[in-house]
Structure 1
Amino acid sequence: MPFTPYHAGPAMLAGVGFRKVFHIPALIVGSVIVDIEPFLVLAFDLDYPLHGFFHTFAGGTIAVLLISVPIWLLRKPIGKLMARLKLEQKKGFWFILWSAMFGMVTHIIMDSLFHADLRPFYPFWYNPFYGHISSKAIHFLCVFSFIAAGIIYIVIFFTAQKKESRQKNS
């Protein structure tokens, strides 16, 4: 797996680039939630695969369902934070669920590209994604996505501030 924060880069790029398509917080949380599993395995030295059930589409879907409800319940405070960040968005449950699901799927596909032990289509052992792209290319994509997301966000933020300033002055 790219180190967990790397997964946030592509999610943030998709989120700020396509704000009308994705709920940014749900997308980011969905893109990293399944890495709680390897964290727990490493932190507690568990006798369990590093990329186990939650690194499958079935397990990831369960994780997404579990996080989508709290994100939806917290939609008002999250919405206020997003408004301050100049990233106002729709807040419906299906929009949140779709976004978290997309984040999870991209995470599992990225990890499947260079982890032979991943079984994305559990209970089947086959990993059709493995070995098609190098880990170096994935890491580059993740870092590039993070930087590009930051640049796009800066443009969005200052454009919104400029628009607000014009409205106050007129």
Structure 2
Amino acid sequence: MPFTPLHLGPGLVFKAIGGRHFSFMVFGGAQVLMDIEPLLGIVNGWPSLHGTTHNLAGALLIGTLAGAIGRPVSERVLRWLRIAHAPFTWRASFLAAYAGTFSHIALDALMHADMAPLWPLRDGNAWLGALSLEHLHLACLATALLGGAVLAVRALLARPKSDPRR
């Protein structure tokens, strides 16, 4: 299924590690951009859903696009929603975009036979089935819980001591 929320789990860990140097919004946007090809394939009945975008070359191209549009789009959305945030850098945007696209092909390669994740360096998909679908989904869920917990604890600890909610 395209646009799986499970791909966001590792992104929460990356955000917990990278802090303001990593954009979770750009990471999520990169995930969606990666799955436009499979969505079009489902709609049009293509025999292969994970082709040109689901390999190293596609991830690099889509990551570059996501990084370039991610910063201005994210800044506009955060401003529109009136969400305070740290200064948004191009580095944070591109780091998140490439983490999003390359982690996407790594996760999808474990479960989709129609991929060649290391193309143009290698054909085929040696990663297929290296982890069961159940274990893959549990790992994505576990990373979401871990990253979310770390971010929640950091947010609680960062509150000013005079905050009545503390």
Q: Structure 2 length normalisation: TM-score?
A: 0.80
| Letter of the structure 1 residue corresponding to residue 50 of structure 2 | H
Q: Is the 8 A contact 1:7 1:142 kept in 2?
A: yes
Residue in 2 that maps onto 1:38:
38
Q: Is the 8 A contact 2:2 2:35 kept in 1?
A: no
Q: 2:68 & 2:89 partners in 1: Cα distance?
A: 11
Q: Is the 8 A contact 1:4 1:35 kept in 2?
A: no
Residue in 2 that maps onto 1:121:
118
> CA-to-partner distance for each residue in 1:52-85, whole Å, 9 max, x for gaps?
1111111122112222222222353356589947
Q: 1:139 & 1:61 partners in 2: Cα distance?
A: 25
RMSD of equivalent CA atoms: 2.8
Query: 1:149 aligned to 141, 147, 156, which one?
Result: 147
**1:89 Cα offset (Å):** 4.2
- Higher normalized helix content (fraction of residues): 1
5+ long unaligned stretches in structure 1: none
5+ long unaligned stretches in structure 2: none
> What is the correspondence of 1:17-56 to structure 2 with a 5 Å cutoff?
17-42=17-42, 44-47=43-46, 49-56=48-55
Whether 2:101 is the aligned partner of 1:101: answer: no
Q: Is the 8 A contact 2:63 2:100 kept in 1?
A: no
Q: 1:96 & 1:130 partners in 2: Cα distance?
A: 30
Whether 2:88 is the aligned partner of 1:91: answer: yes
137-146 vs 47-56, which moves further: 47-56
Q: 2:81 & 2:144 partners in 1: Cα distance?
A: 18
% identical equivalent positions: 26
Q: 1:115 & 1:164 partners in 2: Cα distance?
A: 52
Q: Structure 1 length normalisation: TM-score?
A: 0.78
Q: 1:30 & 1:152 partners in 2: Cα distance?
A: 23
